[in-house]
């Protein structure tokens, strides 16, 4: 193990091997994960990468320090499915001239993104460091961050893209090692799922970087006319904007390997002249429901929201943390069969763990090294959970096993604190601490802060914008 790896080993789709993870800069470990296309409720298959990479984010923060990890997860808010949804939901108002298409699209994407945020917060996921929206990265930006139009211009200038029939296309033959991630060669290439094979392409595998928009479609002015970007270019732009031309980890679902991630790699490497886009590529496995592929026609298509808030799955609703545990009981690279039985099993396990963790003393426990080691082996969550079950068995009133279990549950994103928070007590403690600070009794003030933290309550100090005086707010630390 090299020192910089902190013992972390990750499976890399690019090399098809598990290897020590060595960050480019241990002070800023950089990860990009493809986020949702916001046209409809996110389904439970979408929840899997969000939960899996949340665990990795937590682990990286634990290993390298909370402020030394940058996690970018984008929001795709330009897509033909979004246009279709806007026309379906607001078509009447648009044709009556009461609403512009852009406004209708904004309403669809904002509502859907808000729902997504509520869903994933209920699943115990931390917010990523940055959550850029594609539409803000189409045109050159005032802050000089990478944008899609400038990237496409560089690709044309470097001989990797061409204009044909109103489209800008990536020239796959201009990149001798195109296809490294999916291990497909050019002969096997099919066009991306969103684009029909057209005669204007030099090669069937060439994919769209930019396409013209009709007046009824959203569009931006560009050197190639009013149009909109292809799907893949947004992630090349937003990852470069926040993580640089080469970064550490790129993640997403297995279904994104081809064409999406393959094409992200092609665009980024050819635009920047680099040999890699991200050093490690991680992909979570597929999700089935009750042994069958999830599909609308089979009637087994469930949104996260439905499982949380309705009784459509197994005749009852399910707490977010039960969904979270059920998702993590299977290793992230394995296919998962999401079933009522699995959710029941997760719920029982969680109940036992939480009951045992309730025995923990007030002082904050350490996350046991065995839990960190298990997760550091390519996120072997099942091995980490074995440690938790062992701790639950050893837990007794006020003992260390109970404290370690509670710390582990908090670390893994399970809510063990919120049920017990007495808000009045917290408010009194905060007032008490502010009085101590005013009296310059720092040691006692810090003691109160640490005591609250040990109960999972994190204080945040800020300034009152009017008086300039210190104000303190609090939140549950996950």
Q: Which residues on neighbouring strands pair with residue 338, listed in sequence order?
A: 289
Q: Are 306 and 313 in contact (CB under 8 A)?
A: yes
Please, what is the minimum distance in Å from the beta carbon of residue 264 to Zn ion? 6
Cis amide bond preceding 259, omega within 30: yes
Is 296 labeled as ligand-binding?
Answer: yes
Distance CA 145, CA 375 (A): 34
**H/E element, 87:** helix 80-95
> What residues from 6 to 45 belong to the interface with Zn ion (CB under 5 A)?
34
Output 50 or 416, the one with its CB closest to Zn ion. 50
Q: Which is nearer to Zn ion, 47 or 277 (CB)?
A: 277
User: Nearest approach, Cβ of 62 to Zn ion (angstroms)?
Assistant: 26
Instruction: Tell me how crowded residue 331 is: count the other CB atoms within 10 A of its CB.
Output: 18
- Asked if 235 interacts with Zn ion (CB under 5 A), we say yes
* Region of 167-175, 193-201, 229-237, 397-405 interacting with Zn ion (CB under 5 A): 229-237
Nearest-approach distance from CB 462 to Zn ion, in angstroms: 35
Calculate the CA dihedral of residues 276, 250, 70, 4 and round it to 10 degrees: -70
Interface region with Zn ion, contact rule CB under 5 A, candidates 39-47, 107-115, 233-241, 436-444 = 233-241
> Which candidate, 118, 72, 62, places its Cα nearest to that of 252?
72
Which lies closer to Zn ion via its Cβ, residue 73 or residue 342?
73
Residues near Zn ion (CB under 5 A), total: 2
Work out how close the CB of 267 gets to Zn ion at its nearest, in angstroms, rounded to a whole number: 11
Query: Least Å distance between CB 87 and Zn ion?
Result: 25
The answer to whether the annotation marks 261 as part of a ligand binding site is no
If one asks whether residue 181 binds Zn ion (CB under 5 A), the answer comes out as no
CB of 154 to Zn ion, least distance (A): 19
Checking DSSP bridges between strand 336-338 and strand 457-463, what pairing results, if any? unpaired
By beta-carbon proximity to Zn ion, the closer residue of 21 and 32 is 32
CA distance 394 to 383: 17
Q: Shortest distance, CB of residue 43 to Zn ion, whole angstroms?
A: 18
Binding span for Zn ion by CB under 5 A among 134-142, 151-159, 227-235, 377-385:
227-235
**CA-based nearest residue to 374, from 345, 334, 331:** 331
Give the nearer residue to Zn ion in terms of CB position, either 6 or 268: 268
Positions 93 through 152 that interact with Zn ion (CB under 5 A): none
* Helix then strand then coil, % of the chain, to nearest 5: 45, 15, 40
Q: What one-character-per-residue DSSP string does 286-354 give?
A: -EEETTEE--TTTT---BHHHHHHSSTTTTS---HHHHHHHHHTS-TTS-EEE-HHHHHHHHHHHHHHH
**390 in Cβ contact with 432 (< 8 Å):** no
**Between residues 262 and 415, which has the closer beta carbon with respect to Zn ion?**
262
Q: Burial, 423: exposed, middle or buried (Cβ in 10 Å; 0-12, 13-18, 19+)?
A: exposed
Beta-sheet pairing, 29-33 with 17-20? unpaired
68 is in an annotated binding site: no
Beta carbon nearer to Zn ion, 265 or 360? 265
Closest to Zn ion by CB, 101 vs 151, is 151
**CB 34, min distance to Zn ion, A:** 3
Tokens standing for residue 444: 């006692």
CB of 268 to Zn ion, least distance (A): 11
Q: Which is nearer to Zn ion, 235 or 308 (CB)?
A: 235
Tokens of 243: 């993580």
**Is position 260 annotated in a ligand binding site?**
yes
Contact between 60 and Zn ion by CB under 5 A: the answer reads: no
Give the tokens for residue 391.
């701790």
Contact criterion met (CB below 8 Å) for 97 and 194: no
Binding residues for Zn(2+): 34, 235, 260, 264
Q: Which residues are annotated as a binding site for ATP?
A: 296
Site for Zn ion, rule CB under 5 A: 34, 235
Annotated binding site: 34, 235, 260, 264, 296
């Amino acid at each position: 193990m090299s020192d910089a790896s902190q013992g972390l080993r990750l499976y890399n789709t690019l090399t098809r091997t598990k290897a020590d993870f060595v960050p480019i800069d241990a002070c800023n470990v950089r990860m990009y994960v493809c986020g949702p296309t916001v046209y409809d409720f996110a389904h439970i298959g979408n929840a899997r990468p969000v939960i899996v990479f949340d665990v990795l984010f937590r682990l990286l923060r634990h290993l390298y320090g909370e402020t030394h990890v940058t996690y970018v997860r984008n929001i795709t808010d330009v897509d033909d499915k979004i246009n279709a949804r806007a026309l379906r939901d607001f078509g009447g108002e648009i044709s009556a001239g009461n609403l512009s298409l852009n406004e209708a699209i904004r309403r669809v994407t904002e509502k859907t993104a808000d729902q997504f945020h509520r869903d994933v917060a209920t699943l115990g996921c931390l917010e990523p460091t940055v959550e850029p929206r594609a539409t803000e990265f189409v045109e050159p930006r005032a802050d000089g961050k990478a944008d899609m139009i400038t990237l496409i211009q560089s690709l044309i200038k470097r001989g990797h893209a061409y204009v044909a029939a109103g489209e800008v296309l990536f020239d796959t033959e201009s990149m001798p090692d195109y296809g490294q991630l999916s291990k497909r060669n050019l002969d096997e290439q099919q066009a991306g799922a969103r684009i029909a094979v057209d005669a204007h392409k030099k090669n069937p595998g060439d994919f769209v970087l930019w396409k013209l928009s009709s007046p009824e479609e959203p569009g931006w002015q560009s050197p190639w006319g009013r149009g909109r970007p292809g799907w893949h270019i947004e992630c090349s732009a937003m990852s470069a904007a926040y993580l640089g031309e080469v970064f550490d980890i790129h993640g997403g679902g297995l279904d994104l390997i081809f064409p999406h991630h393959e094409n992200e790699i092609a665009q980024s490497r050819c635009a920047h002249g680099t040999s890699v886009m991200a050093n490690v590529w991680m992909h979570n496995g597929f999700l089935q429901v009750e042994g069958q592929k999830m599909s609308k026609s089979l009637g087994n298509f469930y949104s996260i929201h439905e499982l949380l808030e309705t009784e459509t799955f197994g005749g009852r609703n399910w707490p977010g943390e039960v969904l979270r545990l059920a998702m993590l009981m299977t290793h992230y690279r394995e296919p998962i069969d999401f079933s009522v039985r699995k959710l029941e099993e997760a719920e029982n396990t969680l109940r036992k763990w939480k009951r045992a963790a309730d025995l923990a003393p007030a002082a904050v426990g350490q996350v046991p090294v065995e839990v960190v080691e298990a997760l550091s082996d390519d996120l072997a969550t099942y091995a980490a959970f074995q440690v938790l079950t062992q701790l639950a068995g050893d837990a007794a009133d006020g003992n260390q096993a109970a404290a370690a279990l509670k710390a582990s549950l908090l670390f893994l994103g399970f809510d063990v604190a919120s049920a017990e928070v007495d808000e009045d007590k917290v408010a009194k403690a905060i007032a008490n601490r502010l009085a101590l600070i005013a009296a310059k009794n720092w040691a006692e003030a810090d003691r109160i802060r640490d005591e609250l933290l040990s109960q999972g309550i994190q204080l945040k100090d800020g300034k009152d914008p009017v008086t300039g005086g210190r104000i303190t707010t609090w939140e549950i630390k996950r």
